[in-house]
Structure formats: structure tokens, C-alpha cells
Amino acid sequence: MTALSDQQLEGQIAEWRAYVRRRQALHRPDVEELEGHLRDQLAALTEAGLTGDEAFLVAVKRMGSLDELSREFARAHSERLWKQLVMAPEGEAPTQATRDELFVLFGLTFAAAVAVKLPALFGHPIEPNAEFPKFYARNASLFVFPMLTVYFLWKRGWDRVRALWFAMAFAAGAVLANVFPFASGSQTEMLTALHLPIALWLTVGFAYVGGKWFDSDGRMNFVRFSGELAIYYVLIALGGFVVTLFTFMMFRSIGMNPDWFVAGWLLPCGAAGAVLIGSWLVEAKQSVIENMAPVLTRIFTPLFTVLLLAFLATMAWTGNPINVKREVLIGFDLLLGVVVGLVLYAASARDPQAPPDFFDALQLALVVSALVVDGVALYSIVARISEFGFTPNRVAALGENIILLVNLMWSAWLYARFVSHRSSFAALERWQIAYLPVFSAWAAVVVLAFPPVFGYR
Amino acid sequence: MDLSKDLVAASSTPLVLAILAEGESYGYAIIKRVAELSGGHLHWTDGMLYPVLHRLERQGYVAAKWDASESGRKRKYYRITKEGQAELAAQRQQWKAVDDTLRGIWMKECTV
């Protein structure tokens, strides 16, 4: 056999291996075993006088249909159809890197829990019967996000200058959360508590992408990460809820009251630590498990479209105007937020090269109906805004509404162009990810400017 | 003459166990041995042996280990375990019962 045909044969084997490797039921050692068989067969066949090409065809044919084969493998290893997450992949021994990662992760989780408890030493205890201290509401993100940032810096590589920038961002957040002399029951204090995490989440994002913010997929990956983290966080929270119930049930049965432990330790430390554990899970499972956020998007896009259209139809039919109550604007903000989320996560899971399909048309219908609903709501609100006066809450809500509206209007335009084959999906994706910092920038403005502008009320 | 699919599947376990009872072996060699023993009547698609081996490994009838082959590549060698020996004995009895029954009925046909 000449060197050239040898090379060709190796190429063919590599192609075959890559093809087999795509089967979910076949793990790497299985493929190696099958490849060994293929090579034994090839050797025997070439010895019998076949050329490399002929031998390859015969050997592959004798191996049998890969569909059938992977079905049989799946039957022999049924657990493989349920992808395992926390276990080391494919039964390989945990490497030094995964051990290091676990060590760093548990260290940071512990640090977050300690950070939550530290203020208690300086006169900010959380007590079961007292009101929840506003200090914790304002600083909630500062207990966790720095640890998360450290985790990503550690994972993606870092240097002193970059670390310093991140430290400065969090220091600025800490200062803004704590220097303002908020009046008691102040709206701007609640606004700070709500908006600081949104502003600082961008900082976490910078750490997540590891300095490649403007690279093609960096921001979209961060969006995917955020969605999955939210889902994992909810799951962990549900588990935590069960633990809490059992804590109460068991200790009360022996006449002890675990209130102080649950309210002061279990819930705050658990809530902080779960963010890190959830992030690690998302990182670890990236390639292992189907992303959930796009699946939920698929389920809820049609539902929300129907809901919005039914709402518009009912309003048109009955002629009932929107009853503008005090905080109705926030409700419609949330609605737009959900719609932007649906568009974003649908985009995150879509192949930008694929031609428009029914689901894209549905997304367009969703965005347009959301725009119409919000337009109607805004019209009613603006018509009566003089009656309410400008409180911090209303200005913040109005600002958010405008930001979401701009996002959706341009998205609708891009979707319409895409569905009518006049532009590519990539344009929409670019628009969505380019818009991300706007949300954080607005949140930063709310945190930075609103308290002094509105006199801390 | 080709055996039916069901029969091939049913006979694969005792056959593989019996071959491994002769000594440690690996996939390709087992296939060759099957062809040799059956005189070409028992035709397996090569790949299908491996799920069978893995199932037997899972059931504890065979044990496997990765080792270097003559060519230097890694190769997975299988050997029969104690449980495998017991299973082979049990299967042998079952097949013998089937064989005896069929033999009995077909011998009678011949004599009639």
C-alpha cells in the first residue's frame, strides 16, 4: 500500500469516527473499540488482496447500520439517554482541572455566605420578627456578583489591570448603594435595590465573556448563560423551600423554634450561595444538556401571542379603556420585558442561517401585538400623567417602557424584513445583543442620578 | 441458510459466553470465531456484537479491560467471570432442553 492511499484511508477512518461520534448513545471508549474493530477488519481485508478503498467499504458495510447499532447501544446503556451532569463525562476520572474548579467554587460560595453574614457583626442583623433590613435589599447583588466575577476571571484568565476595573465597578456600586441618605420608606431606595443588580449584571457579563465582549458569540453566550442561570436558580430555590419546610417541621416537633436559623442563616446564605452553584451548573452542563430557556420560549411565545391578541380583540369589542391605576405602567413594563425576553431567547437558540419559518412569523405577531398593547397603555397613561405628578417610580417605569419600546419597534422592523426575505436573521440578533448594555446603562442612571434628583424621597 | 434475527439475538449470549469461556478475547476475534464455529451460517453484523458484550459486562457476566494490542493500539479485552460461568451453565441447560424437545419430535417424524 502506498503512503498516499494510507493517508486517504486514515482520512476516511477519521470521517467515519467523527460521524459515529455524533451518536448520543455511543461514548468515546465505544467509538474507540469500534474503530479498533474496523482497523482489524481492514488489515485482514487488505491482506486478502483488497485495495484500501474496497476494504474500507466492506468493513463499514459489515459493521452494520449505525442507526441500529446506536439503538442497541442505547438499550444496553439506557442511562446514556439521560445525560448525566454532575458526574465526570463518560465515566472518565475527574481531572485536576475539575477538582480545582470545584475547590474554587466552594471557596467562593462560602465567601458569599460569609459576606452575607458579615454585616450582622456591624449592626445589620436579619431577624425573623423584625422588618427585613433595607441594607440587605440595597446591597444584595454586592454579596454575590463579586464572587461570581472572581469565578469567571479565574476561569477565563485575568490580569491585575482587568481585575482592578472590575473591583472599581463593584466599589462604585457599593458606594452608591450606601452613601445616599434615603428617607424612610423612600421610593428611590427601592429603585436602587431593584436597579443596582441590573447595572452590575453587565459587569458580571464582562467577566463572563473574558474580555471578548465584541466577539461574535460572546454576548449571546452571556444571554444564554443568564437564562439558564435563572432557571437553575428557581430549581435550587424550590429545593431550598423543601429543606426549609422540613427544618420547621422537624425542629418544631421537638419543641424548638428554628425561626432565627431559617431567617438569619439558611435563607440569606442559601440565596447567595445558590447563585454561584447555579452558575457552575450552567457552565458544567453547557454541552451536556439541552438549554431550557429556548424550550420555554417555544412554549410561551404562542401563548403570549394569543393572550395579547385576545386582549386587543376584547378591548376593541367592548370599548373598555385601560383603567389607569397607580402602578399599571409597571405591569406593562413587565409585559414588554417578557416579550423582549421571548425574542432574545428565541434568537439565542436559532440558527441564523436558517430561512424564516412559521415560528418567526409568530414572533413577529407577538412583537407587533405587544407594541400595540403597550401603545394603547402608554396613550392612556400619558394622557393622565399630569394628574399623577412625577414620582421617582413613575419616571423610572416610563424610562424603562421607552427603552423596551424602542427595542421592540426596531425588532419588529427587522423581523418584518427577515420574514419577507429582505434581510438576514443576523441583523436582528446583532440588534438584540447590541442593545443589552442599554438596559444596564439605564439601571445605572436610576441608581446614580435618581436619589439626588428626587431628594431621596 | 441464514438464521432469523430473533434466533441470532437469543443465541448471542450463550455463544459469546462460551467463546469467552475458552479464554480472554476481543471483539474482532470473537466475530471471527463465531464465523469459524458456525461454518458461516451464523451471520452477525459486526457492530451488533459490541452492545451484546456491553450488556454482558453490565450484568457482570464478563469483565473488560483496556490493553495494548500487538499493533500497539488500545484494545478492549473481555473475559468471563464466575457469574458468567454460572449463566453459561444455566443457558446451556435451557438450550439443551429446547434441543432435546425438537430432536424428540423430529426423530419421531423420521421414524414414521
Query: Across the interface, which of B52, B58, B76 has its CB nearest the CB of A33?
Result: B76
Residue with grid cell 482520512, as numbered in its chain: A11
Same domain, residue pair A345 and A233: no
In a domain, A355, yes or no: yes
How does residue A152 score in pLDDT terms, banded at 50, 70 and 90?
very high
Same domain, residue pair A325 and A443: yes
In a domain, A338, yes or no: yes
Q: Quick check: B95 contacting A, CB < 8 Å?
A: no
Q: Which pLDDT belongs to residue A83?
A: 60
Number of Cβ within a 10 Å radius of residue B12: 20
Nearest CA in chain A to B46: A63
Query: Across the interface, which of B27, B55, B76 has its CB nearest the CB of A76?
Result: B55
Q: Which pLDDT belongs to residue A1?
A: 43
Same domain, residue pair A359 and A389: yes
Length reported for chain B = 112
Same domain, residue pair A42 and A133: no
Q: What percent of chain B has pLDDT over 90?
A: 33
In a domain, A392, yes or no: yes
Instruction: Using alpha carbons, select from A336, A274, A326, A277 the residue that is nearest to residue A304.
Output: A336
Same domain, residue pair A153 and A45: no
Grid coordinates belonging to A171: 466599589
Grid coordinates belonging to A161: 489591570
Q: Is the pLDDT of residue A306 over 50?
A: yes
Query: Across the interface, which of A62, A72, A76 has its CB nearest the CB of B46?
Result: A62
- Residues of chain B neighbouring A33 (CB-CB closer than 8 A): 27, 50, 75-76
In a domain, A262, yes or no: yes
Number of domains in chain A: 3
Average pLDDT, stretch A312-329? 80
Q: Is the pLDDT of residue A218 over 90?
A: no
Residue B72 — left, alpha, or beta (φ > 0 → left; ψ -120 to 50 → alpha)? left
What ipTM, to 2 d.p.? 0.84
- Residues of chain B neighbouring A72 (CB-CB closer than 8 A): 47-48, 51-52
Q: Is the pLDDT of residue A85 over 60?
A: no
Nearest CA in chain B to A41: B28
How does residue A216 score in pLDDT terms, banded at 50, 70 and 90?
low
Q: Is the pLDDT of residue A223 over 80?
A: yes
Distance of alpha carbon A371 from alpha carbon A177, whole angstroms: 34
Same domain, residue pair A260 and A377: no
Which phi and psi angles does A361 have, rounded to 5°? -65, -40
Q: For chains A and B, what is the number of CB pairs under 8 angstroms?
A: 65
Distance of alpha carbon A145 from alpha carbon A152, whole angstroms: 11
Q: Which pLDDT belongs to residue A246?
A: 95
Q: Is the pLDDT of residue B88 over 90?
A: yes
For residue A181, give every residue at least 6 positions away whose Cβ sits within 8 Å of its Cβ, in sequence order, or none.
A456
B5-111, CATH topology level: Arc Repressor Mutant, subunit A (1.10.10)
Same domain, residue pair A270 and A183: yes
In a domain, A322, yes or no: yes
Same domain, residue pair A186 and A256: yes
In a domain, A99, yes or no: no
Same domain, residue pair A78 and A117: no
Q: Which pLDDT belongs to residue A417?
A: 92
- Residues of chain A neighbouring B71 (CB-CB closer than 8 A): 39, 43
The separation between CA A71 and the C-alpha centre of its own chain, rounded to angstroms, equals 33
Specify the higher pLDDT residue, A67 or A326.
Answer: A67
- Report pLDDT digits (tens) over A19-55: 888 777 788 888 888 888 888 888 889 888 888 888 8
Same domain, residue pair A260 and A388: no
Cβ <8 Å between A63 and B46: yes
Query: Across the interface, which of A30, A64, A73 has its CB nearest the CB of B46?
Result: A64
Cβ <8 Å between A64 and B48: yes
Average pLDDT, stretch B99-108? 89
Q: Which pLDDT belongs to residue A2?
A: 47
Q: What percent of chain A has pLDDT over 70?
A: 92
Q: What percent of chain A has pLDDT over 90?
A: 34
Q: Which pLDDT belongs to residue A162?
A: 85
In a domain, A87, yes or no: no
What are the structural domain ranges in chain B? 5-111
Q: Is the pLDDT of residue A90 over 60?
A: no
State which of A265, A285, A305 marks the end of a domain: A285
- Residues of chain B neighbouring A32 (CB-CB closer than 8 A): 74
Query: Across the interface, which of B28, B58, B71 has its CB nearest the CB of A76?
Result: B58
Between the alpha carbon of residue A183 and those of residues A186, A447, A448, the distances in Å are 5, 15, 16
Between the alpha carbon of residue A456 and those of residues A183, A196, A452, the distances in Å are 6, 16, 6
Instruction: Using alpha carbons, select from A82, A116, A205, A100 the residue that is nearest to residue A154.
Output: A100
In a domain, A437, yes or no: yes
Same domain, residue pair A193 and A271: yes
Mean pLDDT taken over chain A: 85
The alpha-carbon gap from B38 to the nearest alpha carbon of chain A, in Å, equals: 17
Cβ <8 Å between B47 and A39: no
State which of A82, A115, A131 marks the end of a domain: A82
How does residue A326 score in pLDDT terms, banded at 50, 70 and 90?
low
Average pLDDT, stretch A408-421? 92
- Residues of chain A neighbouring B72 (CB-CB closer than 8 A): none
Distance of alpha carbon A404 from alpha carbon A408, whole angstroms: 6
Query: Across the interface, which of B47, B51, B66 has its CB nearest the CB of A63?
Result: B47
> Taking a contact as any Cβ pair under 8 Å apart, which residues of chain B between 21 and 80 contact chain A?
26-28, 31, 45-48, 50-52, 54-55, 58, 66, 69, 71, 73-76
Q: Which pLDDT belongs to residue B3?
A: 75
Q: State which residues form the domain around A225.
A: 104-285
